[in-house]
Each structure stands twice: as structure tokens, then as C-alpha cells.
Amino acid sequence: MKHPTVIRPADHAVYAPTKMGKSTLFASPRLLAGLNAFEAGQEHALHAHPGQDKVYLVAEGSGVFLLDDRELPMTAGDLLIAPEGVPHGVRNPGPGRLLLVAVLAPAPAKG
């Protein structure tokens, strides 16, 4: 994808039957922007990113943002920020799909 261009997140969503689907919209050493797509019932377990901040935006649907001591209901249009090192996860209880824009900075090192 050549940037800048107008991106409709739903046009780039990749849903997978067995686990959260991922797609990349933009990647540089500074920033990774992508999509996390959840079918009903799927979950991204608690995890943390040492040294990386993460911004989530709910593009479509509703779900639950998981923290180690609480759960936050979220719906389309909501923004959440997981500062570096803070364990977080996502659950889509359904019945609809859940699509998140995820921005991670700096980008993960390439393996």
C-alpha cells in the first residue's frame, strides 16, 4: 500500500477461523499500524510489550479490553492506550465481529 492514501479499515481486515487475524497497514522502524480481527468467541490473551506503547481503536463491533485486574467494555469509536509494559488483551464475546486498529511504537524488531 502506498501512503498516504485513504484507508477504510474493514477493507483490509483478515479474519481467521482459529485465532485472531492480523494484517499490516504500515510498517517502519518507528511505527507499526495494523488490524486485529476477531470472530465471535476469539481472544488475544494478556500480553505486554516492553519498551513499546500501543494504541487501539475500535473500528467495528464491540468487545472487552482485558487488563490483569479488570475488564473494560469497548465499542466502535473507542480508543485505548496500553503504555509499555502494561499487560493487556482483547476478547470478543460476540455475537458480531470485532475489528481493531492497532498502532505500536516503536515497531517490533524484525526476526
Binding site for a second copy (CB under 8 A): 3-9, 25-26, 28, 30-31, 33, 51-53, 55, 57, 59, 65, 67, 72-74, 77-84, 86, 88, 101, 103, 105-106
User: What whole-number distance in Å separates Cα of residue 75 and Cα of residue 96?
Assistant: 11
Nearer to a second copy, 17 or 51 (CB): 51
Nearer to a second copy, 6 or 17 (CB): 6
- All residues at 6 or more sequence positions from 32 whose CB lies less than 8 Å from its CB, including other chains: 24, 26, 102, 103, 104, 105, 107, 108
Q: Are 64 and 71 in contact (CB under 8 A)?
A: yes
Q: How far is the CB of 18 from a second copy (least distance, A)?
A: 27
Nearer to a second copy, 15 or 64 (CB): 64
Q: Is 34 helix (H, G, I), strand (E, B) or coil?
A: strand
Q: How far is the CB of 37 from a second copy (least distance, A)?
A: 15
